[in-house]
Amino acid sequence: MAQLVGPLRKELADSLSSCRVLVVGAGGIGCELLKNLVLTGFKNIEVIDLDTIDVSNLNRQFLFQKKHVGKSKAQVAKESVLRFCPSANITAYHDSIMNPDYNVEFFRNFQLVMNALDNRAARNHVNRMCLAADIPLIESGTAGYLGQVTVIKKGQTECYECQPKPTQKTFPGCTIRNTPSEPIHCIVWAKYLFNQLFGEEDADQEVSPDTADPEVAWNPADAAARATASNKDGDIKRVSTKEWARSTGYDPVKLFNKVQLFKDDIMYLLTMDKLWKKRKAPLPLDWTEIHQLESSQEEAFGSGLKDQQVLGVQGYAQLFHRSVKTLRSQLIEKGEGAELVWDKDDPPAMDFVTAAANLRMNVFSMNMKSRFDVKSMAGNIIPAIATTNAVIAGLIVLEALKTLNSDFDQCRTIFLNKQPNPRKKLLVPCALDPPNPNCFVCASKPEVTVKLNVHKTIVQALQDKILKEKLGMVAPDVQIEDGKGTILISSEEGETEANNNKFLSDFGIRNGSRLQADDFLQDYTLLVNLIHSEELEKDVEFEVVGDAPDKAPAPNVPEEGKNIANGNKDSAQPSTSSKAAAEDDDVLIVDSDEEPSSSTMETSPESSNRKRKHHDADTDDAASKRKRLDQQPADDDEDIIALD
């Protein structure tokens, strides 16, 4: 340790021993960072992470061992790091950073905050808390071979939310339920089916045919008559999939042929003849017919490990049968009213989704996928590289030393590239940008405009989908600027619950109305301007317009044809926030070691005219262009952090 601390000025070395720092996240980057901090001389460290250790973490999170599986990441990381430096004072919190206990006063206890997070919601929150507390934040991320570190300081640099982020890709319900055209549609459907059968039922995850599909031109009232042929047994109930499944004893064959699956529902879809005029119609599967196939036709194909092989229809039907029986046994063991939670690392759950998704792919004439491919898409997994985490954690410490030494003008955004740039460098520094004056988070008077239909948008949707999910608030209080100070939403439980299912128009809200939204936890006030519109696109409930997140430039496709991403709206639970949906951020690749402005992201030729020339120890050249990579949702694995 003496060798590491020795080169530092005595004043800086002393300050490391006395200053308090907060590390948010104890996963891939977090483990490396905690080790680096104590070896560099930091003595007072607090670390927070909600997650527990999983077997899949052990290949890169080196503070953990097999005996630690199931234990708190933060607590075990603390214990492991103390073996490097027993004199360190480390406090571990097995909790969500979005817990109201960690308020602005909590953040003011630290001289520096370092993020090692895996999801945008928690990162947005920490960004706002550091702004409110006026504490420097070092943001970081890795995605496979790519990595990034940047420094955020109130009033001097862009905050995390200054630059717009691409919106997470979602799929319309009618596409999932009626007209899937890509394997991912079938995989999402299979995950919904798992929840409907074995987990917590969700009305937004319905899997049966959608008779309200706008493409279905005939009267939905005729659906029952048209589908009579598919309901001959008379025991089909479309009220509760789980109830029906329980009544059959979770009989795999009945599940296969009947409700919500591969025969009856497909025959029901075929009655919606308008859907199939320009599409290939689905082909129902029958359990008996499948098992009459010659075994020679059902051999797996593909090379490599068993999980990388693609089975035939019969093979996936058998896998479906086995997985249903296993999941049924798990439910019985848990007792009456029990529910299962889908987990990509749980073999029976993964088998079920693999089988159900592939059978549906076959029904809709798609090429089936291996278990490996299905797991990658269902769990939104991208490669996690231990070396990348180590490099980024080292860079975090270097930027931390600059910040604590008051050398803020020397701080940089640093990108780790997958391949050396033309100047043969993997690490590329970029000057920090000043705050975006139009940012709806760090501007002096944050303001945003939302387009919606006031006659169709209910208060609950405003709170959950717009203020919390889209605009990153945790516990908003909303007042209508109507001269009366009408309280629309209160963060106090039950206080405005009666408003939840009322339309905005019921409160006199119309085109041009303004709402003041306050989040006292984040010490954040946002003025929301509402524009009434009856011409929103299909399946679009609202649009944030102006300088808002969904105005990000259209991303380019990477040369490798692969997407790098983070977050999964369907199933991922972030490791450091309780229920926040993990989301995808944008990744920047820098093509040279020259020092551009860190937010110069445009790829058009004219964008180069806006790039500023900055001085760096290695080069005096002008900034070069950077490419922006498309992002798809990824897993909640803590070191698979999308880059901005």
Q: Annotated binding residues, as ranges?
A: 25-30, 49, 57-60, 73, 96-97, 118-123, 159, 162, 439, 442
* 382 Rama sector, left if φ>0, alpha if ψ -120 to 50, beta otherwise: beta
Report the alpha-carbon distance of residue 60 to residue 390 in Å, rounded.
10
Structure tokens that stand for 365 in this block: 């004439």
AA letter at 68: H
Report the alpha-carbon distance of residue 441 to residue 435 in Å, rounded.
10
Say if residues 642 and 584 touch (Cβ distance below 8 Å): yes
Crossing angle of helices 73-82 and 28-40, rounded to 10°:
30
Residue in the block written with tokens 């899937």: 180
- Binding residues for ATP, as ranges, are 25-30, 49, 57-60, 73, 96-97, 118-123
> Which runs of E-coded beta strand occur in 263-373?
none
Q: Which residues contact 78 (CB under 8 A, 6 or more apart)?
A: 34, 47, 90, 91, 92
Question: 22 - beta bridge partners?
Answer: 46, 113
- Give catalytic status of residue 430 as yes or no: no
Strand 476-480 and strand 514-519: the pairing is antiparallel
Structure tokens that stand for 448 in this block: 């945003």
Report the alpha-carbon distance of residue 30 to residue 71 in Å, rounded.
16
**Residue 273 DSSP code:** G
Report the alpha-carbon distance of residue 113 to residue 105 in Å, rounded.
13
The residue annotated as part of the active site, out of 31, 85, 130, 174, is 174
AA letter at 510: R
> What Cα–Cα distance (Å) separates residue 532 from each residue in 118, 301, 411, 513?
35, 55, 44, 9
Number of Cβ atoms within 10 Å of the Cβ of 406: 10
Residue in the block written with tokens 């492991």: 80
- CA 360 to the chain's CA centroid: 25
Structure tokens that stand for 492 in this block: 């106090």
Report the alpha-carbon distance of residue 467 to residue 475 in Å, rounded.
9
Nearest to 522 by CA among 480, 595, 473: 473
- Binding residues for Zn(2+), as ranges, are 159, 162, 439, 442
Q: Which helix (H) or strand (E) holds 192?
A: helix 183-198
3-state secondary structure 74-129: HHHHHHHHHCCCCCCEEEEECCCCCCCCCCHHHHCCCCEEEECCCCHHHHHHHHHH
Report the alpha-carbon distance of residue 572 to residue 343 in Å, rounded.
9
Say if residues 6 and 99 touch (Cβ distance below 8 Å): no
- The contacts found for 301-306 with CB under 8 angstroms, 24 or more apart, are 302/370, 305/372, 306/371
Phi, psi (5° rounding) for residue 584?
A: -90, 140
Nearest to 582 by CA among 382, 436, 305: 382
Say if residues 133 and 108 touch (Cβ distance below 8 Å): yes
Nearest to 461 by CA among 342, 557, 542, 358: 542
Say if residues 416 and 391 touch (Cβ distance below 8 Å): yes
Catalytic residues: 174
